Amino acid sequence: MAALRYAGLDDTDSEDELPLGWEQRTTKDGWVYYANHTEEKTQWEHPKTGKRKRIAGDLPYGWEQETDENGQVYFVDHINKRTTYLDPRLAFTVDDNPTKPTNRQRYDGSTTAMEILQGRDFTGKVVVVTGANSGIGFETAKSFALHGAHVILACRNMSRANEAVSLILGEWHKAKVEAMTLDLAQLRSVQHFAQAFKAKNVSLHVLVCNAAAFALPWSLTKDGLETTFQVNHLGHFYLVQLLQDVLCRSAPARVVVVSSESHRFTDINDSSGKLDFSRLSPSKNDYWAMLAYNRSKLCNILFSNELHRRLSPRGVTSNAVHPGNMMYSSIHRNWWVYTLLFTLARPFTKSMMM
């Protein structure tokens, strides 16, 4: 094949030779896909063998990966001073044969964040992820960044946030990723974050409300509210309100609220069926950490549903998601009993990447 010879690779396997009008390409994260120029479509499976492949190993010495103005990946051979859209590592691909999903369910409990975005190009998109310095927030931010998005890690601890930025840049040095201060336990900090973000004069296509507190001892924030309620719900509620105009201007845009199945095990109404505000920010005598967490997650669900009802006509969708039993997460770090329980359950649960 001419393209392979141009890249310095000779194809000797006739089974893998592509039909006329087909081209082999790769994504930023190393997955191989096939472009049918005749029908103007792409697919993951090889048109002859039906196999999926991914790249193995690093680029050869002197080669560098770049992205053109259309978001297409291409490769520069600095030694021979030439460029090609063909990955020079294609001679060293390995087969990937995942279990084919059913028509009813495309993803399952073993699907990773990178697989969710596989083949998607987010070049030019702006994504904000709260609590992105660790856990599933970090994996989400990394996946978006490695797929071309400009990602902002909105975190309370800037030292850890900058470490997370360095880890992402270590995987792809051209990733557009930065950290900004956001402490959801302080409404003034939420306001300052929104002001600083708006000062950048950029769009906002995806806002992932991920940060959360779990199993905290009772305490009040500087705003006089119970901490779990403010961090898990009210801080995010306020953040979305402050950035609502940017989201609408950036439509189509999306808000993703990370909730939990634990929202099913509580209620925020009193015995007469009316909303009981004292349950949202309880006193110390009425506080139970697990119940406070469950109620905050129920608030997430209700908020996301109402947000979608109000903003979807303006091009902003909202979804609340249960990430699964993320036992590898550090969310349980506030009490040693939960840490022990989660450690024992770790072999039977999902990892942060899934």
Active site residues: 293
Give percent helix, percent strand, percent coil of the chain, each to the nearest 5: 35, 20, 45
Q: At what angle do helices 187-199 and 235-249 cross, to 10 degrees?
A: 20
CA distances from 326 to 112, 133, 143, 191, 258 (A): 12, 16, 17, 30, 12
Give the DSSP H/E element, type plus range, for residue 140: helix 135-146
Closest of 210, 231, 220 to residue 295, by C-alpha: 231
Give the DSSP H/E element, type plus range, for residue 84: strand 82-84
How far is the C-alpha of 90 from the C-alpha of 10, rounded, in Å?
A: 11
Structural Rg of the chain based on CA atoms: 23
CA distances from 231 to 106, 118, 182 (A): 32, 31, 11
Closest of 344, 343, 305, 338 to residue 321, by C-alpha: 305
Closest of 169, 317, 79, 14 to residue 4, by C-alpha: 14
DSSP class of residue 275 equals B
